[in-house]
Amino acid sequence: MTKNDYYSQENHGPYSLFDLGDFNLEEGGIIKNCQLAYSTFGSLNSKKDNAILVSTWYSGTSKIMEQVYVGVERAINPNKYFVIIVNQIGNGLSSSPDKVKNFAVASFPKVRIGDDVRAQHTLVTKYFGLSSLALVVGGSMGAQQTWEWAVKYPDMVKRAAPIAGTAKNTTHDFLFTKTLNEAIMSDPAWDCGAYKNPNAVIDGLRRHADLWSVMGYSTEMFKKELWRDLGFSSAEEFCEGFTQAYFAPMDPNNLLTLAWKWQRGDVSRNTDGDLKQALGRITAKMFVMPINTDMFFPPKDCEDNQKMVTNSELRVIATDWGHLGLFGMDPLYIKQVDQHLHDLLDTPV
Amino acid sequence: MTKNDYYSQENHGPYSLFDLGDFNLEEGGIIKNCQLAYSTFGSLNSKKDNAILVSTWYSGTSKIMEQVYVGVERAINPNKYFVIIVNQIGNGLSSSPDKVKNFAVASFPKVRIGDDVRAQHTLVTKYFGLSSLALVVGGSMGAQQTWEWAVKYPDMVKRAAPIAGTAKNTTHDFLFTKTLNEAIMSDPAWDCGAYKNPNAVIDGLRRHADLWSVMGYSTEMFKKELWRDLGFSSAEEFCEGFTQAYFAPMDPNNLLTLAWKWQRGDVSRNTDGDLKQALGRITAKMFVMPINTDMFFPPKDCEDNQKMVTNSELRVIATDWGHLGLFGMDPLYIKQVDQHLHDLLDTPV
């Protein structure tokens, strides 16, 4: 098995590892010696009430969340808050198909958003000794984890900001994710997940990236040629040099593990399928923050969820960059996110 | 080479064939003994001013246009108009990779929207002896042909109604179509287009259909479970039994020929790349009719084109069915189309 250096401390660290021991999963599997990778910024105050938990999206790690969302002049300010960025299971830093030696690479067990949130809860309560979180925030799959946190542990979550993500995945989003999976799995080099060298699945990863180019940005972004802001001279060069290049070094089975989880994100699993009851459990002050041009977590779907949360506001972020505006390439996106998070953090709870 | 019965007279006829002879293409190729397949309904009046030309979309033939858009109680009424539905080159009825014997199946020449419209012009002027068309109408790629007609032959086209399609394809739409092509071409059975049996490329066609399920309908359609109206009992069953089943019997190289053409639809080729000048040539009374939930020919893109046409109106059609609402599964879509086409046909020119 060829080693994949992409997920190294050099590229994505420094990060620490928290041992969960043998971790039982909702679907019945077990991850032996399960580890959560996390990074922290700032310090916990004496009252232990200044912790912010940041979750990660599909393909993302703590590194990009730090780079795009954390800073001393930002809403998530490490001079003021104790920021914990937790990598979700399967993302290549926490326990993942590509690194857990107890599993054949293709037989990593099915993991759910609820498993991640339970694991993260153990980290913040048992290891950091916290009994409350001033804010839980994340984008896309990170938003799915944010919703789950607010429903599962309402007493702990004081504020919550799911960005560009829903509480219960829609059929349409499920189908989009299915096409991502099929792009990878249809590559003969994927070999039913038994590939020896992840880089061999490059054709599948390239097609997978092209689907992101269609659904991840927006018509307007391409029409306005905003890729020029990132230094590219043609749309084709941007799709290859940015989107394809971003996904190329990743492990296909890691992505498939995350995608399976993404497709089935659903807080109503906590309440026997009753979404209204699940969202009714939320006591956090919540800002639901969809992106106006998002093609698969569209504002309407996020708003439908928001309306079921008592103490909530809909704060739509405007950017032509679509869902992948989450990467922060639009300075106005950053500005809006910070304004909303400032407002939210300034709200007494 | 296995014969593909899908495109037969039994399935898509009755249709007639018009011989264009050796037809020279914009890209420099030639289709030997090029044939246009067409169907007509109703009769030409003595003034020869009641002809309506209907064009076809990607994967579509004259049959579906007849079934969805023509009828004695419809705006396109064969008791009143002489309706000519022309199959575009490459669609399996007109000259296409799967039926032209002069070509290896994989080396059919590149065809452009402009070629189709030139061929159709020959049919309606030389064969039917027409000097004007009361209306040119079509959806999607049929809209691309409609735009091209109005720009290329302004003296002939009295009224025009491009439904869910633009005058110049956008980068975003080009990228979507690229993913359709890649879904087919990544199937090893496609064999660089040299497959002996088109049905062997079933995996590629299935993935291609799944992309349509994501981009062709809309989030709202799936949320409201409108597929129930078509008799399906789950979204999965609908995607397989409707979308996959629709594309499964088609010829992969036919679809690729059409897709190449679709990606490059651009009326500004008539005016050295000046879109405003091209659209400024239009003298037809034009209703531009995008579908409100269309994800790849979105209303905004169609409106941008419409604004450049002097004698035009934007008539947005509302349906949750997205782009594939063109198939007419929503009775309210049919009602709106007919209302708009009635209004347009009633407008003196």
Q: Please state the rounded mean pLDDT for residues B24-52.
A: 97
Q: Is residue B204 part of a domain?
A: no
In this prediction, residue B26 carries a pLDDT of 98
Whether A300 and B186 lie within 8 Å, measured CB to CB:
no
Q: Are the CB atoms for A325 and A290 separated by under 8 Å?
A: no
Q: Residue with structure tokens 């007849």?
A: B66
For residue A32, pLDDT beyond 60:
yes
- Predicted TM-score (pTM) of the model is 0.96
The tens digit of pLDDT for each residue in A305-336 reads 999 999 999 999 999 999 999 999 999 999 99
Q: Is residue B82 part of a domain?
A: yes
How is B48-62 classified by DSSP, letter by letter? Answer: S--EEEE---TT--H
A171, A176, A296 ranked by CB distance to B235: nearest: A171
Q: Is residue B255 part of a domain?
A: no
**Which residues have C-beta within 8 Å of that of residue A50, sequence separation ≥ 6?**
A42, A44, A80, A81, A82, A134
Residues of chain A found within 8 Å of residue B188, distances taken between Cβ atoms: 188
Which active-site residues of B does the annotation give? Answer: 140, 294, 323
For residue B102, pLDDT beyond 50:
no
Q: Is residue B205 part of a domain?
A: no
Is the previous residue joined to B188 through a cis bond, with omega within 30 degrees of 0?
A: no
For residue A197, pLDDT beyond 90:
no
Identify residue A329 by its one-letter amino acid code: M
- At A27, the pLDDT band (50, 70, 90 cuts) reads very high
Nearest to A65 by CA among A136, A128, A138: A138
What token pair was written down for B19? 């011989």
Coil, helix or strand at residue B231: coil
Which chain B residue has the Cα nearest residue A234? B171
Query: Residue B103 and residue B99: Cα distance in Å, rounded?
Result: 9
The tens digit of pLDDT for each residue in A43-94 reads 999 999 999 999 999 999 999 999 999 999 999 999 999 999 999 999 999 9
Helix (H) or strand (E) holding B176: helix B171-185
How is A80-147 classified by DSSP, letter by letter? Answer: TSEEEEEPPTTSSSSS-TTT-TTS-GGGPPP--HHHHHHHHHHIIIIIT--S-BSEEEEETHHHHHHH
For residue A104, pLDDT beyond 80:
no
The tens digit of pLDDT for each residue in A202-234 reads 999 999 999 999 999 999 999 999 999 999 999
Residues of chain B found within 8 Å of residue A223, distances taken between Cβ atoms: 170-172, 301
Return the number of other C-beta atoms located less than 10 Å from residue A47's C-beta. 7
The tens digit of pLDDT for each residue in B246-297 reads 999 999 999 999 999 999 999 999 999 999 999 999 999 999 999 999 999 9
Return the number of other C-beta atoms located less than 10 Å from residue A339's C-beta. 13
- At B227, the pLDDT band (50, 70, 90 cuts) reads very high
Domain span including residue A67: 5-170+266-346
Which chain B residue has the Cα nearest residue A176? B214
For residue A102, pLDDT beyond 50:
no
Q: Is residue A240 part of a domain?
A: no
Whether B207 and A235 lie within 8 Å, measured CB to CB:
no
In this prediction, residue B107 carries a pLDDT of 77
Whether A219 and B170 lie within 8 Å, measured CB to CB:
yes
Q: Is residue A228 part of a domain?
A: no
B213, B218, B298 ranked by CB distance to A219: nearest: B298
For residue B2, pLDDT beyond 80:
no
Average pLDDT, chain A: 96
Residue B191 touches chain A, beta carbons under 8 Å: no
Coil, helix or strand at residue A228: helix
Task: Give the number of domains in chain A.
Answer: 1
From the list A94, A95, A96, A140, the catalytic residue is: A140
The tens digit of pLDDT for each residue in A144-155 reads 999 999 999 999
CATH code, domain with A25:
3.40.50.1820
A170, A187, A211 ranked by CB distance to B223: nearest: A170
β-pairing, B82-86 vs B51-54, is parallel
Q: Is residue B233 part of a domain?
A: no
Residue B234 touches chain A, beta carbons under 8 Å: no
Q: Is residue A335 part of a domain?
A: yes
The tens digit of pLDDT for each residue in B49-97 reads 999 999 999 999 999 999 999 999 999 999 999 999 999 999 999 999 9
